[in-house]
Structure 1
Amino acid sequence: MRPQPERPGGVRPAGRTDGALPGPPAPPAGGPARTAGREPLWRDLVGDVLRRERLAQERTLKDVADAARISMPYLSEVERGRKEASSEVLAAAAQALGLGLGDLLARAHGELTRHTRTRGRATSTAPRNALCLAA
């Protein structure tokens, strides 16, 4: 265990005593995008699309990870929205499922659009910049 440095006046910083830096608080068990009333994160949407497509094809995580040439634990984390995958990884995973990168992103966009619609327009706090024309 490494001793913590003292601040001026002999006061040590509060918190952990093992020398490790405190990290950000852990997200809720359901993940940040699963929280009610919040817009989902892009990584959650893309991961959901990948997992749904893989399960629809009745393929295993190992099978798709091998075909995409990425590790199985990493693909699992991408599917669960725990990792923000690069475009190269997303393209490889999509191709392993018989999709193009554009198909994957279009499906994720569709999910975001559906989610936004189900939240309703009444919850929007953004001002509307509409122009009304009368005939």
Structure 2
Amino acid sequence: MTIRATNQARVIPLRPFPAPPGPAPAREPLWRDLVGDVLRGERLAQERTLKDVADTARISMAYLSEVERGRKEASSEVLAAAAQALGLSLSEVLALAQGELVRLSGARSRSLGAGGAGHAGRPGVPGPGSVGTVQLAA
């Protein structure tokens, strides 16, 4: 073995390499972010404070804040309490979040070049509002 071979070491960079130039890849929206946005949007539209809604829902203000910011995945009981405190049903909150998910997913599909064939670009799966049957190849 030579001296040169024993003096070589593997170098591990301390900082990550910079991201390649160009747009960052789009990520799927998280359900907790969508639900939190709906709760916060409704609270602000009603011009209510975080404390007021949290007290009415009987949940902590800090926890409600984290749910609104998408930091916590709230249970159905917590979501129902927050919805009720805002004068909404749980189904209304979830429907609003679902509508936002569809809107964002549609925009994402269009930006990725997915056509309008089928649901979410999958052939053979009918899109929302379509009527009829799917024809299977023989």
Which category of TM-score, normalised to the shorter sequence, fits these structures?
0.5 to 0.7
- In structure 2, the residue matched to 1:54 is 43
Q: Return the TM-score normalized by structure 1.
A: 0.66
Question: Runs of 5+ in structure 2 lacking a partner?
Answer: 1-23, 126-133
The total of aligned residue pairs comes to: 99
Which of residues 75, 83, 87 in structure 2 aligns to 1:98? 87
Shift of 1:36: 5.5
The equivalences for 1:1-135 within 5 A come to 37-121=26-110, 122-123=113-114, 127-129=122-124
- In structure 2, the residue matched to 1:22 is none
**What fraction of aligned residue pairs are identical, expressed as a percent?**
70
2 CA distance for matches of 1:71 and 1:123? 43
Q: Return the TM-score normalized by structure 2.
A: 0.65
Shift of 1:119: 1.3
Question: Runs of 5+ in structure 1 lacking a partner?
Answer: 1-34
SS of structure 1 residue aligned to 2:52: helix
- Which of the pair has more CA radius of gyration? 2
How much is the aligned-residue C-alpha RMSD, in angstroms? 2.4
1 CA distance for matches of 2:44 and 2:121? 37
